[in-house]
Amino acid sequence: MRKLNVLLSLFVLASLVLTACGGGAPAEPQTVVQTVIVEGTPQVVTAVPPTEEKEAVLRVNTGTYPDVIDPQKSSFVNEIAHLNKVYMGLTTLNGKLETVPGAAESWTFNDDATQLTFTLKPDSVYSDGSVLNAKRFEYAFQRNIDPATAGEYASITDEIVGAPEWRGADTAAEGYDAEAFKAALGVKASHADGSACADYEDTACNTLTLNFSKPAPYFATIAGIWVGYPAKEENIAEGGDIWWTSSKYQIGNGPFIWKSVDPFVKSVFVPNPNYAGEAIPTYRLEFSYITDSAVAFEAYRNNEFDVIGSAAEDLPVIDADADLAAQHVKYAGSCTIKIQYSFFPTWGGKPNPFSDKKVREAFALAFDAEAWTHDVDGDLSLPTWTWIPPGYPGYDTNTPLHFDPEAAKAALAAASEPFNSAEKLNALGLKMAFADSARNRQRHEWIAAQYKEILGVDLALDPVEPTTYTAIQKDPDTYPLLSRGGWCADYADPQNWLSVYWRTGTFADRWGYSNPEFDALVDEADTTIDPAKRAELYSQAQQVLLNDIPGAFGYNSLNHYLVKPWVKGYQTTPQDGTYPGDVTPWTITIDTSMLP
Amino acid sequence: MVTYLIRRLFWLIPVLITVSAVTFIVMRSAPGGPWDTDPERRQVDAATEKSLSAYYGLDKPMWRQFYAYIIGDTNSQTKEYVCGLICGNLGPSYRQRGRTVQDILFSPPEDKTFWQSRFGYSLRLGGMALLMAIMVGIPIGIIAALKQNTIVDYVALFFATSGISVPSFVLAIFLIFIFASRLHLVDIVVDDWTQIKYWFMPMAVLGFGTLAYTARLTRSAMLEVMRQDYVRTARAKGLAERAVVFIHMLKNALIPVITILGPALAGLVTGSFIIETMFSFPGMGRAYVQSIFQRDYSMIMGTTLIYALLVAVANLSVDIIYVFLDPRIRLED
Amino acid sequence: MSVQTASPNKIAVINDVFKPSRSLGQEAWSRLIRNKASVAGMFIVGFFIFLAIFAPVIAPMDPLKLHSGKRFLPPPFDQGATNIKAEPEFLLGTDSLGRDVLSRVIYGARVSMVVGFLPTTIILLMGSTIGMISGYIGGKLDNLLMRLTDVIYAFPDLLFFIIVMVALRDSFIGQFMNGLVLLFAALAIVNWVGVARLIRGQVLSLKQKEFVEAARCIGAKDTRIMFRHILPNSLSPLIVWAAFTIPGLIITEAVLGYLGLGLRPATDSGQFFVTSWGVLMLDGQTAINSQPYLLLAPAICVALVVLAFTFLGDGLRDALDPRMRGTQ
A257: DSSP letter = E
What integer pLDDT is reported at residue A502 of this predicted model?
93
- Helices B151-162 and B118-146 meet at what angle, rounded to 10? 160
Residue of chain B whose Cα is closest to the Cα of A292:
B278
Whether the CB of B243 is below 8 Å from some CB of chain C: the reply is no
- Mean pLDDT across chain A: 86
What lies within 8 Å, CB to CB, of C134 at 6+ separation is C141, C142, C145, C146, C196, C200, C203
What lies within 8 Å, CB to CB, of C289 at 6+ separation is A294, A297, A313, A314, A316, A317, C81
| Residue A42: pLDDT over 50 | no
Residue A220: pLDDT band by 50, 70, 90 thresholds? very high
Q: How many CA atoms lie within 13 A of A566 on its CB side?
A: 17
What integer pLDDT is reported at residue A5 of this predicted model?
47
B42: DSSP letter = P
Residues of chain C with pLDDT under 70: 1-24, 170, 265-269, 321-328
Ranking A199-213, A355-369, A539-553, C143-157 by mean pLDDT, the lowest is C143-157
What contacts 24+ positions apart, CB below 8 Å, involve A298-301? A298/B176, A298/B177, A298/B180, A298/B181, A298/B188, A299/A61, A299/B187, A299/B188, A299/B189, A300/A61, A300/A562, A301/B181
Return the domain boundaries, chain A: 2-47, 55-87+231-306+569-596, 89-229, 329-557
Q: Quote the CA–CA distance of C170 and C185 in Å, as a whole number.
A: 15
The secondary structure element, H or E, covering residue A421 is: none
- DSSP 3-state of A302: coil
What integer pLDDT is reported at residue A568 of this predicted model?
92
Picking from C82, C267, C289, the nearest residue to A445 by CB comes out as C267
Please check whether residue B266 lies inside any domain of the structure. yes
Q: Quote the CA–CA distance of C174 and C170 in Å, as a whole number.
A: 6
- DSSP 3-state of C322: helix
Please check whether residue C13 lies inside any domain of the structure. no
Q: Do B292 and C285 touch (CB under 8 A)?
A: no
For chain C, what is the domain count? 1
Residues of chain B with pLDDT under 70: 39-42, 326-333
Please, what is the Cα angle at C167 between B26 and C250, to 5 degrees? 105
What integer pLDDT is reported at residue C267 of this predicted model?
63
**Nearest CA to B120 among B314, B306, B284?**
B284
**Percent of chain A that is helix, strand, coil (3-state, to 5):** 35, 20, 45
Please check whether residue C231 lies inside any domain of the structure. yes
DSSP string computed for B241-307: HHHIIIIIIIHHHHHHHHHHHHHHHHHHHT--HHHHHHTT--SSHHHHHHHHHHT-HHHHHHHHHHH
What integer pLDDT is reported at residue C323 of this predicted model?
57
CATH of the domain at B165: 1.10.3720.10
Please check whether residue C6 lies inside any domain of the structure. no
Contacts of A290 in chain B (CB under 8 A): 188-189, 280
Whether the CB of A437 is below 8 Å from some CB of chain C: the reply is yes
CATH number belonging to domain A89-229: 3.90.76.10
Contact A292, B180 (CB under 8 A): no
- C-alpha gyration radius of chain A: 27
What integer pLDDT is reported at residue C300 of this predicted model?
92
Mean pLDDT along residues A477-500: 89
What lies within 8 Å, CB to CB, of A238 at 6+ separation is A249
Picking from C163, C278, C310, the nearest residue to B292 by CB comes out as C163
CATH number for the A329-557 domain, one of 3.40.50.720, 3.10.105.10, 3.90.70.10, 3.60.20.30?
3.10.105.10
User: Identical fold at A89-229 and A329-557?
Assistant: no
State CA C216 to chain mean position distance: 37
Contacts of A312 in chain C (CB under 8 A): 96
What integer pLDDT is reported at residue C1 of this predicted model?
36
Please check whether residue C17 lies inside any domain of the structure. no
Q: Quote the CA–CA distance of A293 and C285 in Å, as a whole number.
A: 9
Contact A93, A183 (CB under 8 A): no
Q: How many CA atoms lie within 13 A of C209 on its CB side?
A: 16
Q: Which B residues 183-212 touch C at CB under 8 Å?
A: none
Burial string for A425-447 (b: 16+ CB within 10 Å, else e) reads beebebbbbbbbebbbbbbbbbb
Please check whether residue B7 lies inside any domain of the structure. no
Please check whether residue C108 lies inside any domain of the structure. yes
The secondary structure element, H or E, covering residue A269 is: strand A266-271
Please check whether residue C124 lies inside any domain of the structure. yes
**Nearest CA to C261 among A293, A465, B271?**
A465
Q: CB pairs below 8 Å between A and B: how many? A: 204
**Nearest CA to C150 among B86, B212, B10, B254?**
B10
Picking from C166, C260, C267, the nearest residue to A461 by CB comes out as C267
Please check whether residue B137 lies inside any domain of the structure. yes
Q: Quote the CA–CA distance of C185 and C126 in Å, as a whole number.
A: 11
Residue of chain C whose Cα is closest to the Cα of B167:
C251
- C-alpha gyration radius of chain B: 24
Start-end of H helices in A50-208: 77-86, 134-145, 163-167, 178-184
What integer pLDDT is reported at residue A299 of this predicted model?
92
Whether the CB of B162 is below 8 Å from some CB of chain C: the reply is yes
Q: Quote the CA–CA distance of A344 and C95 in Å, as a whole number.
A: 38
Please check whether residue B9 lies inside any domain of the structure. no
Q: Which B residues 41-70 touch C at CB under 8 Å?
A: none
What lies within 8 Å, CB to CB, of A569 at 6+ separation is A581, A587, A588, A589
- Helices C231-258 and B168-175 meet at what angle, rounded to 10? 50
Strand partners, A99: A93
What lies within 8 Å, CB to CB, of A394 at 6+ separation is A388, A493, A494, A497, A498, A535, A538, A539, A542
Output the CA torsion C136→C140→C145→C147 (10° steps). 130
- DSSP 3-state of B159: helix
Residue A1: pLDDT band by 50, 70, 90 thresholds? very low
| Residue A461: pLDDT over 80 | yes
Ranges of beta strands (E only) in B71-144 are 72-74, 81-83
Please check whether residue B172 lies inside any domain of the structure. yes
Q: How far is CA C44 from CA C109, C272, C303, in A?
A: 12, 22, 11
Whether the CB of C155 is below 8 Å from some CB of chain B: the reply is yes
Q: Do C265 and A445 touch (CB under 8 A)?
A: yes
CATH of the domain at C314: 1.10.3720.10
A458: DSSP letter = P
What integer pLDDT is reported at residue B110 of this predicted model?
73
Q: Which amino acid is at C200?
A: R
| For chain A, percent of residues with pLDDT exceeding 90 | 49
Shortest distance, CA C275 to any CA of chain A (angstroms) = 12
Look up the domain containing B310 and give its range.
114-325
Contacts of B36 in chain A (CB under 8 A): 467, 470-471, 474
| Residue A41: pLDDT over 60 | no
Question: Tens digits of per-residue pLDDT, A280-300?
Answer: 999 999 999 998 888 999 999
Residue of chain C whose Cα is closest to the Cα of B32:
C167
Look up the domain containing C282 and give its range.
41-324
CATH number belonging to domain A55-87+231-306+569-596: 3.40.190.10
What integer pLDDT is reported at residue C43 of this predicted model?
94
Residue A548: pLDDT band by 50, 70, 90 thresholds? very high
For chain B, what is the domain count? 1
Contact A454, A494 (CB under 8 A): no
Question: Tens digits of per-residue pLDDT, A494-512?
Answer: 999 999 899 998 888 889 9
Q: Say if pTM beats, i.e. exceeds, 0.90.
A: no
Mean pLDDT along residues A170-176: 80
Whether the CB of A194 is below 8 Å from some CB of chain C: the reply is no
What integer pLDDT is reported at residue C23 of this predicted model?
67
- DSSP 3-state of A204: coil
Contact C120, C185 (CB under 8 A): no
